[in-house]
Structure 1
Amino acid sequence: MSAHCQLTGARPVFGKKVSHSHRRTSRRFDPNIQTRRYWLPGEGRYVRLRLSARAVKTVDISGVEAVVARIRARGERV
């Protein structure tokens, strides 16, 4: 699976690694993706979400029901 967050849509970005001699080589900045399992009381089941660390904090604040609704509104399956 690709390294992208289901809630925020954070994806890898690309840049350059700069050595001490100032040579530049390509590198990739990956988001901090975590797999979390949440209980969805409205459906009586668990859902497994691939979220960035920032999105995990958003779920703690907004609640899992609101977050799942926002993901489904985008057309993604949960």
Structure 2
Amino acid sequence: MSAHCQLTGVQPVFGNHVSHSHRRTRRRWSPNIQQRRYWVPSEGRFVKLTLSARAIKTIDKIGIERAVARIRARGERI
């Protein structure tokens, strides 16, 4: 499972971990990615989506139909 959200497109961010002595080493901030299964009534089937926690809240707000339309508008296949 790749660490990117299908709805928002959020991906890991890279930067430095800075220790107390100010030594820097590379690190990565991973998004909170979850796999969710949603029923899409217009298609009569379930779709499995890889979403960030923020995207799950967005789907709760706008609905799965509009969310699927947004994902397809980005050119991603579901």
TM-score class, shorter: over 0.9
* Counterpart position of 1:6: 6
Q: What displacement does 1:2 show?
A: 2.0
SS of the residue corresponding to residue 77 of structure 1 reads coil
Q: What displacement does 1:18 show?
A: 1.0
* Counterpart position of 1:75: 75
Amino acid in structure 2 at the alignment position of 1:31: P
Paired residues for 1:18-37 under 5 Å? 18-37=18-37
Q: Could you tell me which runs of 5 or more consecutive residues in structure 2 were left unpaired when the two chains were aligned.
A: none
Kindly report the root-mean-square deviation, in angstroms, between the aligned alpha carbons of the 2 structures.
0.8
SS of the residue corresponding to residue 21 of structure 1 reads coil
**Given the two structures, how large is their TM-score scaled by the length of structure 2?**
0.95
SS of the residue corresponding to residue 25 of structure 1 reads strand
**Given the two structures, how large is their TM-score scaled by the length of structure 1?**
0.95
* Counterpart position of 1:52: 52
Q: What is the total number of aligned residue pairs between the two structures?
A: 78
Amino acid in structure 1 at the alignment position of 2:15: G
> Identity of paired residues, percent?
73
Q: List 4+ stretches of structure 1 deviating above 3 A.
A: none
